[in-house]
Amino acid sequence: MKAILLIIALLFLSGCQPTTTTSPVSSSDTTDSDRDGITDGNDNCPTIANSTQIDSNGNGIGDSCEIISSSTTKTDDALIYLNQLRQRAGMIPFNKQDNLTASAANHANYLKLNQATGHAEFSGNNGYSGDYASDRAIATGYSSRTVSENISAHSEVTTAKESIDNLMSAIYHRFGFLDLETDEIGIGYISDTADIFVYNMGVSGLRTLCDGSSYIGTESYYPNICADSSFRIKASDYEQVLSNLQASNPDIITWPADGDNDVPPAFYEENPDPLPNHGVSGYPVSVQFNTSKIAQAPTNVSLKLYSASDNLIVSTITQSDPGKLFTKYQFVLFPYQRLEWNKQYRAELSYDLNGVLSKTWQFKTRDPGYTIQTLSTDGQNITATSGQTFILYSPPENEFDISSGYSTSTPSTMQLDIRRIDAHTLQITATGSGVATINFHNKQFTLSLL
């Protein structure tokens, strides 16, 4: 299995309305091909609806049209993809912040040099730049202590999309990326025996306040927000930053977003683990209520998931989670079993907020791109033609079946190219001729090339 370590640091966060980078082009043409209300000549992505015109890297191409390729770095890829996800959720984008970028890169380097994991650094070790994320950010010149951090480490070469998809499947990390009170980010990446991604999130509004003058009046204030812990921020200014940023985001954030069609089907584990009695389960469905848009927390919350055939997916809804990291405005549905590849699902939410309210949305799990062969019995034979690529899926035998090791025995006339998609799914391309034997998930099967 491609080993994945997902680690999150959560702090109390707040922020402000960010400015969105756009690249307008003057034009008198009134054509609006994607019907997003912006004419093609002024649209930085004229073929895909993107009314927000988010352009994270400022290259004149909207994120919705940005093609992630080898011409950009993995950190650029990560920012583009992460903002695509936030845009699908209706949220404002992250803006790149140089100090946070430096602090994230420093920690990625520390993890590599010391073959370490986690958020803490220890003075005296190679590459030390600060005990925790806020310390490391301050060391680069970031003026606020309000910094959160997500980390993913992988045992194989990994794309930015894979890193973020893994973090978004892990609910604590997801809430970090979909936080209503952060608006800027720095991303660090380093490759060694493992690919390591570090994401540092911050709040531009607080940073701006910390760059100003310390409050000297007699009204309430907040200390311990800025690099200088004695620096005072007037309470009303602090709260206005928070209020502005929350007001810029939707009333309710659901994930997967309505209409998503590339949702991974499974969740494995994270640290801390919100579902300790399952090693593998279905992709979590989450709901987050915007505290600035409602006067009180909702009650009698019900969240259900249905298949396309209207079958209720057996699941659990968690609000008081084992890690004690959810707020009373966050709710998560964990399907007990992993979802199926390339299938439609419907989520239904109901809650009481001065009356019973409801919301329904749909999403589709990822199409792996090739024909799926399901490995259901030991001794099964699968046939393919030389050069054909197919997906081998072995359903989990139980909730702790996460072993993904495999072994092969092939004749000299056959070559196998095998890529792990997840712990239960392989992408296989076979060329040549003959019959191969493959062991995967305690099952042995033969692959015959026609």
Give pLDDT, residue 54: 72
Residue written as token pair 């505290």:
291
Within 8 A by CB and 6+ apart from 191, the residues are 157
CB 149 within 8 A of CB 133: yes
Per-residue pLDDT of the chain (450 residues; tens, 9 = 90+): 344 455 444 333 322 222 222 233 333 456 665 455 788 778 787 645 566 677 766 777 775 555 443 335 899 999 999 999 999 999 999 999 999 999 999 999 999 999 998 999 999 999 999 999 999 999 999 999 999 999 998 877 789 999 999 999 999 999 999 999 999 999 999 987 779 999 999 999 999 999 999 999 999 999 999 999 999 999 999 999 999 999 999 999 999 999 999 999 999 988 888 888 899 999 999 999 999 999 899 999 999 999 999 999 988 877 657 777 899 999 999 999 999 999 999 999 999 998 999 999 999 999 999 999 999 888 999 999 999 999 999 999 889 988 778 999 999 999 999 998 999 999 999 999 999 999 998 889 999 998
Give pLDDT, residue 42: 84
Instruction: Say what the pTM is.
Output: 0.83
Burial class (CB in 10 A: 0-12, 13-18, 19+), 139: middle
**Pairwise CA distance, residues 330 & 333, whole Å:** 11
List the strands of the sheet with 372-374, edge to edge. Answer: 372-374, 389-393, 425-432, 414-422
Within 8 A by CB and 6+ apart from 105, the residues are 186, 188, 189, 190, 198
Q: Of 286, 437, 261, nearest to 365 (Cα)?
A: 261
The DSSP secondary-structure symbol of 64 reads: G
Q: Of 91, 121, 108, 205, nearest to 150 (Cα)?
A: 108
Give pLDDT, residue 312: 94
- Quick one: CA dihedral 92, 96, 100, 104, positive or negative? positive
Give pLDDT, residue 60: 76
Give pLDDT, residue 25: 32
Give pLDDT, residue 75: 95
Cα dist. 420→165, 315, 320, 392, 393 in Å? 15, 27, 34, 10, 10
Amino acid in position 347: A
Give pLDDT, residue 318: 73
**Pairwise CA distance, residues 134 & 9, whole Å:** 10
Burial class (CB in 10 A: 0-12, 13-18, 19+), 129: middle
